[in-house]
Amino acid sequence: MLNSPTLPHAVPTTQAVFRRIGLRAVPLLFVCYVVNMLDRLNVGFAKLQFLANLHLNEAVFGVAAGFLYLGYILFEVPSNLMLHRYGARKTLLRIMILWGVFTMVQALASGKYQFYVLRYLVGAAEAGFFPGVLLYFTYWFPDHMRGRVTSLFVMALPVSGIIGGPLAAWIMTDFDGVAGLRGWQSLFLIEGVPAILLGVVAYLSLADRPSDTPWLSATEKQLVADQLQADAGNVSRHAPSKLRDALKNKVLYRLAVCYLTFYCVENALLLWIPTLLKSVGVKSLMSIGWLSGTIALAAAIGMLTVSFSSDRLRERRWHVLGCGIVAGLSMVLLPVGVHSIVATVVLLATSSAAVFGFLVLFWTIPGVLFKDAAAAGGLAFVSSVGALGGVFSPIFIGWIKEATGSFYYAPGTIGCVFLVSLLLLNTCFPRREKIGLMKLEAL
């Protein structure tokens, strides 16, 4: 019998390889982020019951919500530097198990001081998750793909809103009284478990770097390396590579200040949507939950549209600034809907879509300005400074509510400050806009 000719192995295409990588990593990290946001934001629903149960007020809740971000501020930079050194698998395992445990322990809180401590511990445990995943993406995807990849990951934010509202309302209603627990206690206990399980799954399923990946061939690993090396050429040779050099770079501080004001806007939306809906006449928990989900769905559609448009056109500046302007103006205009459920929902949906679009595209900027340890520490530094907004925003809103009886003065003020900060952000962009042509010297 004649030997059949040996067929040459198919040469993998760039698109096929990165699609495989994306399908392997992004869905799992997306689910982890959904759980992260459920565990962080379920307190906004739980407070509808526990404020009365624990004899607390809005100001106390605002302080407790802010304590979570104190943990972020202290531990984000160390966590990201550890991820850069020891890998994502070990880092995610630590982060997710700890935040799951502390989320569950919140069910045992019986007073304001216990609640303060537990919210701080949840924040300290979660610190490093979001900037860590963004850093992880830089190890796997070139810059011109990261807008889409990051948007698919960050879509967990609106998706957590879509499912989080109805889920929280269902748990707090149907599990109220089960095993002698109130609904808010059941909420913390039930929603803390998935984080622990997913931490183990992430450790077993992910690879730290493309070179460590058993499911990529040598040819595919080289293709990824070549793409990332070509991408590295878009970062100036003068780009900081060490954290101490990044900390001397004025652009890092501009980004951090803008992200702080943005975080105030995002935090106000994510924590107070249930309260705003209730204030305009939405009565039942289930109605609040479903309307919150509708707002989040609109946000997801808007975010994906903006991020894919930015990648396709290879333009960042006006996509980012446009989202920021819409988000800020929507917050300023919230009082227009004070007597209308429809107007309030429309404004909240518009602002949410712009906020999440801004969030995705904002994080593509540091990746072309910093590299190596500077990128790891710089991402975490900007994120941790932004977390100050998570401290200031709930305290400010809670204080304004107690002082005036209305939430609307605070979001309008926050929206105006964010709009002003966009002038600062505009100076952070290189003059040559096309991705692949960005040069640090143009700053």
Residue 8 lies in a domain: no
Residue where the block lists tokens 């478990």: 193
Residue 112 lies in a domain: yes
Residue 5 lies in a domain: no
Share of the chain above pLDDT 90, in %: 13
Q: pTM for this structure?
A: 0.73
Per the structure, the complete domain to which residue 82 belongs is given by 16-208+221-442
Residue 124 lies in a domain: yes
Mean pLDDT of the chain: 80
- Residue 397 in tokens: 């809103």
Three-class SS of the chain: CCCCCCCCCCCCCHHHHHHHHHHHHHHHHHHHHHHHHHHHHHHHHHHHHHHHHCCCCHHHHHHHHHHHHHHHHHHHHHHHHHHHHHCHHHHHHHHHHHHHHHHHHHHHCCCHHHHHHHHHHHHHHHCCHHHHHHHHHHCCCCHHHHHHHHHHHHCHHHHHHHHHHHHHHHHHHHCCCHHHCCHHHHHHHHHHHHHHHHHHHHHHHCCCCHHHCCCCCHHHHHHHHHHHHHHHCCCCCCCCCCHHHHCCCHHHHHHHHHHHHHHHHHHHHHHHHHHHHHHCCCCCHHHHHHHHHHHHHHHHHHHHHHHHHHHHHCCCHHHHHHHHHHHHHHHHCHHHHCCCHHHHHHHHHHHHHHHHHHHHHHCCCHHHCCCHHHHHHHHHHHHHHHHHHHHHHHHHHHHHHHHHCCCCHHHHHHHHHHHHHHHHHHCCCCCCCCCCCCCHHHC
* Structural domains of the chain, count: 1
pLDDT over 60 (residue 7): no
Residue where the block lists tokens 């991820």: 83
Q: Are 342 and 286 in contact (CB under 8 A)?
A: no
Residue 1 lies in a domain: no
Residue 6 lies in a domain: no
- Encode pLDDT of 205-237 as tens digits: 999 888 888 888 888 888 888 887 776 555 545
Whichever domain contains 30, its CATH number is 1.20.1250.20
Q: Are 106 and 118 in contact (CB under 8 A)?
A: yes
pLDDT score at 441: 33
pLDDT over 60 (residue 8): no
Give whole-number Cα distances, 96 to 32, 184, 324, in Å. Answer: 8, 21, 31
Residue 214 lies in a domain: no
Least confident of 198-207, 348-357, 382-391: 382-391
Residue 2 lies in a domain: no
Least confident of 11-15, 73-77, 408-412: 11-15
